[in-house]
Structures are given as structure tokens and as C-alpha cells.
Structure 1
Amino acid sequence: MKVFGSSGTRGVVGEEFTPEFVSRVAAAAAATWDAERVALGRDTRTSGRTFADAAAAGVTAAGVDVERLGVVPTPSLVRYCEVEAVPGVMITASHNPPEFNGVKLVGDDGIELPVNRLEVVEDRLLAEEPTTVSWDRMGDSRRVPDANDEYVAEMLEAIDRDAVAAADLTVALDPGHGAGALTSPEFFRELGCDVVTVNAQPDGHFPGRDPEPVEANLDDLGRLVRAADADVGIAHDGDADRAIFFDEAGEYVEGDASLAALAARDLGEGDTTVAAVNVSQRLVDVCEAAGANLELTPIGSTNIITRIKELWREGESVPVAGEGNGGVFFPDYRLVRDGAFIAAKFLELLAERGATVSEIVAPYEDYTNVRENLSYDSDDQLDAMLEAAEAYADAADAEPDTKDGYRLDYGDAWVLVRPSGTEPKVRVYAESADPERATSLARDVRETLEAAKADAAT
């Protein structure tokens, strides 16, 4: 695909990402769907209203009515699509910086479009097929004010509220000024938790931190956990489809460790879980212990969703899936990454075990992960770095997995290099039980790519 990446389509506002482009994407989707109505939501980004207006114009111009949900987490829009049996358009760039925005497309089954259906929309978009109907067939627009209330109410019914409330937990929450600021504080209070917050004012400038919930952006949450003597810290990204945790001492918990803990709780013999090619050995260990199968896909929610649906058609049980970035699926509830629901399942785990966060994740703390991001300014630089990555993989003493970039497994460690599907960056991941080994592997690959990039710039 040329337009849709690993999780929708995104770009820098005013450059490749314009109102005209968004209108065309929405119109192509509406013309492809056999639907009379389309749901439309957005996150808190300052450009969100403009792009939501553009998407609404594209949809109504294609002769389809628009139901405008306003600012909602992506899982809130997804829930609305499933319940109302309508497809949806979500204006969000998820974890990307504030200068970005994007579009996610959701089917009338309440599931983000899989790869094959995105390709149909993309083909129509790139072919520039007409989508505008005559003046007397254009769609209408109406506002839906209560989508978030219904989203929270449904989640409350799906979580063991009594167990969580009995655990008497104090939750430190950082929604990162994103859409989760409108739903997660209320949700965790309704679960019976004491909730303290930071960066909980919806603000598309993201003044407190960048939307991506990585350790470098979450110092405020660590301090809040310690100051409030909280039992757990929870952070979301811009559209609240991810949850990252801090332990009771205010220490960052690797997303791979929390994924492993959640998977260990739900996976049984004969089950299957789905993860991306940057999967941690932690999840591999959990699957081996449970007698469960592990399926790997290219990185990104779209690819994981596509594979889960294929496994369902084959009669496989997939109780949990996801990536180590805080994006976990519980498909038996809904096939969506939902930051609030992920966090609530983690609270259930704390309540059931009567344990602290550090105790819960302790079995999965024996690995060190290193992640490097290398930006590029031109296609020539990108091509040079990928050519260098291929040469590095060919020369390595390991068989490369080329499902998504180049992954090299050495037995005691692995390293992966791949271009980002959402940003102009090449990402390098490394993991080992030996911190120095992981750091050395990542550094070696990074230096190789940096040299290739420098040569391409001269």
C-alpha cells in the first residue's frame, strides 16, 4: 500500500497532510462502503476540527450521512461503529507529535479495516474515481453527544468492578492531553479507584508532554506516583488506544513486560496469540510455558487485526494479542486496542493476585530492550539506510526474518531494523538478557545506518 501504513495514514499538517487529502480519503472510503451513515470522531489535536470538517465534507459529498461524535478515544468510535453497525472515520495521529494528524478507517463490524479492505479504498483513491453525487443526493450531518458516556458504561460492565474496588487502589493517570482525558479519569473512579492526574486537560498543543507514552516523556507520571503514593501509574497516547504502566515506586514498566503479564493470565494450552516481529522473548517464554502458539506479523495494529481475523476463520482461539508499545488486544471483548480497558485488565490482575505492580512484572524483567530512531530527510537517505540494513543482515551470523524489515536472532539476543510506517524514521530494536549485548547490537546497527545516511547526503 502507498497511502495506508501500519495504522492508517498520517502526515505533517500543511505538508503532505492537507484538508483536501483527508476529504478525498473520506470520500473514497464512503464511496467504497455500502452504508447510509458514517461515524466520525477525532482526538484533541489543534488541527482535528479542520480535518474532521474536511472528512465530513468528503463523506456527505459522496451521498452518505455523517454522525459526528466529536472528541473521542479511538476505541469509543470503534464501539459506536460496532453497536450502530456503521463504518467510521477517526481523525488522529495517535502517538505522533502535535504537528501530525492522520486518518483511521473502521468497518461496520467495529474493527479497523484490515489490509485487503484498505487496499480497495486506496485503489479507488489513487485512481481518482469520481465520488461526488448530485446536489439532491448529498448526505446530511448530525452530532452524537453521548458516545463517550456509552463507551465508559459498557467497559464498566466488562470489568470485575467489585474486585478492583475491594483492592482499594490509587491510580496515577497521565492521559497526555489526549482524548483519554475525557473518559479515563471517570472510568477509573467508577471502578472504585482513587485517581490523581497529570496532563489531564484536553489540549491539542500537548503542553505537558508529547503524545507517545515512552519513558522519556513520562517523568511527570513517575513523580506523581511517588508523590501520591499511588499503587500504579497509567499513561495513554493521543487517541487512548494504548496503556503504559509505572510501578508503585514510580518506575517505568516495559510495555513488553506488562504484555507478558497480561498474556500469562489469559493464555492456555492450544490458544494462539499474535504479535509483531519486534516481539520480546518475554512473550515467547509465556507462550512456551502455557503451551500456546505465537503468530508474528509485520508491525502495526492493521497487520495484527488482519491476522487475528484470519485465525478466527480457522477456528483458533485468540484471547490476547498485541505489541510491547502498550497496544494490547482482548479480542473476546472487542478487536481494538483500548488503553482504558487494557489498564483495567491490569488492575484486575493486581486485585486477583493481591500483589504490587513490581511483583506482577518481576518474572518478565530479565531482558533489556534498546530502541533507536534514525530520522531521514529524503528518499535517497531512506534507500541508503535500507540498503545498508540489507547488507548488514546478509553478512550477519544469523538467518534474517524479512517479514518486516530485517530481524536477526542470535540466540542470546536479537536486533530488528525497519522503516517506520507512521513517521520519516528508521527504527532499530534490540533485546537481550545482557544489557551490554543489547546496547552493543543496537549501536552497531545504528552506526552502520548513520554512515550510509551521511554518504547519501553528500
Structure 2
Amino acid sequence: METDESIFRAYDIRGIYPIQINEELAYKLGRSFATFNKGKIVVGRDGRIGGEVLKENLIKGLTESGAEVIDIGIVPTPLIIFSIKYYNFDGGICITASHNPKEYQGFLFYNREGEGIGLENGLEEIKENIHSEKFTEGKGVIIRKNILQDYINFISDKITLENAKMKVVIDCGNGVASVVLPKLLNRFGIEYFPLFCSLDGNFPNRDPEPRMDNLKALQEKVVELKADCGFAYDGDADRVVGVDEKGNVLTPNQFFCVLIKSYLENKKEKVVHDSLSSLTVDELVKYYKGFPIGCRVGHVFIQKKVLEENAAIGGEISGHYFFNELFGADDASFATLKVLEYLNKKKIKLSEVYRELPSYYFDSIRVKTKEEEKFKFIENLKTEFKEKNYKMDCSDGVKIIFDDSWILLRASNTEPKISIAYESKTEEGFEKLKKFVNELVKKIPK
């Protein structure tokens, strides 16, 4: 069976199950990865439909190419990174499609440093191995291991939540946050109310991606229970969205700024942010005498930059937050605990924390387009904007920079979409940007 080339994205593999992602592909990926990355390989999965049979075939492929496989079962994606670094394994694979709709499945790959493997650092070679079917032969073994207690102990040593009389609501979205987060909150004695915290690959209550428009149940429950705050997670628990005590959903920029304050108030640190982040992020880091470092969008790139620069934290506007003290993992459970730790330490409400931040005018949208047209569209824009003599930054898509505002357009590496973000320090400037963006949207191939 021929492999669909479109499943190979910039930093992972994703496609429709079982049409594009199936048992045969999983087996070949196992053979290929063990050929590419020899040694002890940790394997886990999220709660999506097809996950178990994909895992079985992946492991079959890994062992037939000589790998020693450590099967850690159903876990959040960041626990793959934790396992590699904590136990000194040689690599890892997580079977997940993260925040994508329920019809999707996929694979994330990690090297022995715990860094994500994308097309620029190994995924292309993994793909070529599949096409050539030149696999290493061997007879590997399978070890099943429960890592949750080691993970919880590790996290517990990094968080201080003594006498925290807090009440929170957690919306696990029927994803794998359900497996870990309640245990962590119990460890710290945090009172919590669970929403959709049973694992269900059909995601019956909301999409796997937590968004401003699908968190009504969480918002209402926070207000009803007079909770201190609420949190919502994506399918594999590497993204988190916050809700304050009034039921307001924090933007990713606001959530990131809360985390930045928790790290930088007492120590000058480096902070990595993506090219879609608000001006507020950069200004807040500088306010605390820290060092902001820009990076292209993509979890592989931000995680790598955090580790290379020895930054305390990194953030992506999609809701990923990366922690140096967790080996660069984008761990949504740890992000939750860091926010709770900060609120408890300062004895402050969540709404009060982000209310202190500069209030600029920011928006972002994602527009569906044709997969085969998305990168070409961005290249055409670069030519058009260059002819108009706009000040541009083309390191990640195309960004137009004005005196007190900016617009960024980039092709998504995981979906057939164009991401657009824009920001202005003034309302008048924002309205002008909005009109400009509306005209650009009309040009996107549908």
C-alpha cells in the first residue's frame, strides 16, 4: 500500500484514520524509526480511536528492527519527553493527533535529547526508509512500565503549593489530561471539579482543541462554583487554556504573561516566544530585565530554542508552553500548577494578574485553504509586499511591520490553513489592520 505523502508535516505525521494512518503504516514507521534511531525507545499514546492497534503494530515494527521498547501506555505527550530524559532512553514515539478533530491520528517522534524530530532533523530520513524498505533486522524486546508515580514525584519537587486553599475546575475534554491531572491536584491538596474527565476518543463534549468558542461549560461551572479559576486541555495535554474567576477566557498571550511573571519576578531569565506573540510578551520580559528571544512557530523549533538558549520558558500562541526544568517539554499540567503556585504565592486573583498588563488590540484567525496552495500563497504575498516596499520579516511566513502595529501570515505546518495574527497599540490602527486583513482573506485559495 502506497503511503500518502501529505501525512508528513513539518514536525510530525498526521492524517485521517484509518484511511491515511493505519496499521501497515504504523508497522513500517516502527521498522523505519528503529533503523534511524537505535536503542531503547519509549512508546505511548493518547486516547484516540485506533490508538491501541496502531501502538501494537508500531511496537511490532520497532522490535523486528531490534529496538528495546518501553511501553508506557496511555499518557500525555509531554510524558514521552520526561521518560526519555528521566530514564535515559534513546528516543520516543507518541501516537496522537493532538488537537486535531477526532477523525485524525498521528505520530510524534523524539530523539535521545527529548527533542521533537521534524523534517529538518530526521523525519525526512524516516520517510525515505519507509519508501525504500531498507530496514535494520533484529529481535527486540518489550517492557511495560508505569511511569506516573515517578513523574508525579518529579513535578512535586518543583512546585510549592503549601496551604493552598483553592478551588479549580478542570475541563479535560475527554483527553489524556484525565489520566494525570487529577492525581497531581490530589497530591497538592487542591480542591477541583472535573468536567469531561473520562477518556473518550469520540470527544463527545467538545472538540479536542480548546478554543474561546467551545469552553462555555467550563466558564459557567467556574462562576457557578465560585472557583478561583478553570483550565481546559487539548487531546494529548500539551496545550492549556485558562479561565479566570469571573468566567473570562484568557488569551494565550495573557496566559503566557502570567507564566512569565511567575519566572521573572525574582530572577532575570531568557524567554522564547513565537513570531505570532503579542508585543506585550516582549515588553513584559524587558520590564523584568529579562531577555526575549523570537522563534518561528512550531513546537519542535520552540522546544529546541528553549534548550539551546537555556531559556526558563517558551510559549506559542496556540497554547503550548515549554519549560526548561522539564527538559523543554510543553506540559499543560505543569503550566497549570505554575499558575496556581503563582496565584497562591501572591494571594491574587487570576483576573488581577493579566489586568496589570498593557492592553493592546490583538486578534488572530485561521482560514481554511487548499493544502497544495498554502505555501504558494505566502510566497506570492512576499512578492506583492516587496513591490509595495513594506518593511518585512520573512523568517516565518511573511510579517509586515509598521510603527505601532504588525501583521503576520503563515501557512500552517499541520493543517490546510493560513494563520493570520495582527496587533496594534491603538484602536484606530487596529481597525485599519482589520480591513487590510479582510482583503487578504479574500485572496486565500478556497
TM-score, normalised to structure 1, is: 0.89
**Alpha-carbon distance in structure 2 between the residues aligned to 1:404 and 1:271:** 24
Q: Which amino acid aligns with 1:304?
A: I
Q: How many residues are aligned here? A: 440
Q: CA shift at 1:112, angstroms?
A: 2.9
**Alpha-carbon distance in structure 2 between the residues aligned to 1:439 and 1:276:** 24
Contact in 2 for aligned 1:61/1:131 (Cα 8 Å): no
Judged with a 3 Å threshold, the aligned counterparts in structure 2 of structure 1 residues 398 and 377 are, in CA distance, closer, same or farther, namely closer
Q: What do residues 372-429 of structure 1 show as CA deviations (whole Å, max 9, x unaligned)? A: 22212452x4356334532453355641111111112223222111111111111111
Match of 2:149 in 1: 149
Candidates 340, 351, 361, aligned match of 1:368: 361
Q: CA shift at 1:438, angstroms?
A: 3.8
**Which range is displaced more, 275-284 or 24-33?**
24-33
**Alpha-carbon distance in structure 1 between the residues aligned to 2:403 and 2:97:** 36
**Alpha-carbon distance in structure 2 between the residues aligned to 1:198 and 1:439:** 38
Q: What do residues 347-380 of structure 1 show as CA deviations (whole Å, max 9, x unaligned)? A: 111011110000111123612332222212452x
Candidates 33, 38, 60, aligned match of 2:63: 60
SS where residue 185 of structure 1 aligns? helix
Match of 1:417 in 2: 409
Match of 2:52 in 1: 49
**Which range is displaced more, 349-358 or 442-451?**
442-451
Candidates 9, 18, 34, aligned match of 1:30: 34
Q: Which structure: greater helix fraction?
A: 1
Unaligned segments of structure 1, at least 5 residues? 312-316
Contact in 1 for aligned 2:263/2:269 (Cα 8 Å): no
Judged with a 3 Å threshold, the aligned counterparts in structure 2 of structure 1 residues 256 and 150 are, in CA distance, closer, same or farther, namely same
Match of 2:314 in 1: 321
**Alpha-carbon distance in structure 2 between the residues aligned to 1:96 and 1:50:** 19
Find out whether 1:210 has 2:207 as its counterpart: yes
Match of 2:258 in 1: 261
**Alpha-carbon distance in structure 1 between the residues aligned to 2:251 and 2:69:** 40
Candidates 219, 223, 231, aligned match of 2:220: 223
Match of 2:248 in 1: 251
**Alpha-carbon distance in structure 1 between the residues aligned to 2:294 and 2:151:** 30
**Which range is displaced more, 284-293 or 17-26?**
17-26
Judged with a 3 Å threshold, the aligned counterparts in structure 2 of structure 1 residues 18 and 344 are, in CA distance, closer, same or farther, namely same
Contact in 1 for aligned 2:257/2:281 (Cα 8 Å): yes
**Alpha-carbon distance in structure 2 between the residues aligned to 1:327 and 1:185:** 20
Contact in 2 for aligned 1:85/1:110 (Cα 8 Å): no
Q: CA shift at 1:448, angstroms?
A: 2.5
TM alignment of 1:13-412, pairs within 5 A:
13-35=17-39, 37-86=40-89, 87-113=91-117, 117-119=121-123, 121-122=125-126, 124-125=128-129, 128-133=132-137, 137-144=138-145, 146-162=146-162, 166-267=163-264, 271-311=269-309, 317-364=310-357, 366-379=359-372, 381-382=373-374, 385-394=377-386, 398-412=390-404
Q: CA shift at 1:175, angstroms?
A: 1.1
SS where residue 117 of structure 1 aligns? coil
Contact in 2 for aligned 1:75/1:336 (Cα 8 Å): yes
Q: What do residues 112-153 of structure 1 show as CA deviations (whole Å, max 9, x unaligned)? A: 3477533564464366251151xxx32232322x22233223
SS where residue 325 of structure 2 aligns? coil
State the identity as a percent: 25
**Alpha-carbon distance in structure 1 between the residues aligned to 2:348 and 2:318:** 23
**Alpha-carbon distance in structure 1 between the residues aligned to 2:156 and 2:58:** 31
**Alpha-carbon distance in structure 1 between the residues aligned to 2:327 and 2:45:** 20
Q: Which amino acid aligns with 2:75?
A: V
Contact in 2 for aligned 1:115/1:302 (Cα 8 Å): no
**Which range is displaced more, 267-276 or 245-254?**
267-276
SS where residue 244 of structure 1 aligns? strand
Judged with a 3 Å threshold, the aligned counterparts in structure 2 of structure 1 residues 197 and 436 are, in CA distance, closer, same or farther, namely farther
Judged with a 3 Å threshold, the aligned counterparts in structure 2 of structure 1 residues 378 and 348 are, in CA distance, closer, same or farther, namely closer
**Alpha-carbon distance in structure 2 between the residues aligned to 1:291 and 1:130:** 52
Contact in 1 for aligned 2:170/2:230 (Cα 8 Å): yes
SS where residue 157 of structure 2 aligns? helix
Q: What do residues 320-363 of structure 1 show as CA deviations (whole Å, max 9, x unaligned)? A: 21213321122034310101101100011101111000011112
Judged with a 3 Å threshold, the aligned counterparts in structure 2 of structure 1 residues 221 and 7 are, in CA distance, closer, same or farther, namely farther
Contact in 2 for aligned 1:388/1:448 (Cα 8 Å): no
Unaligned segments of structure 2, at least 5 residues? none
Q: What do residues 57-89 of structure 1 show as CA deviations (whole Å, max 9, x unaligned)? A: 221121113222111001222222222211111
SS where residue 356 of structure 2 aligns? helix
Contact in 2 for aligned 1:369/1:431 (Cα 8 Å): yes
Contact in 2 for aligned 1:405/1:418 (Cα 8 Å): yes
Judged with a 3 Å threshold, the aligned counterparts in structure 2 of structure 1 residues 126 and 436 are, in CA distance, closer, same or farther, namely farther
**Alpha-carbon distance in structure 2 between the residues aligned to 1:442 and 1:99:** 33
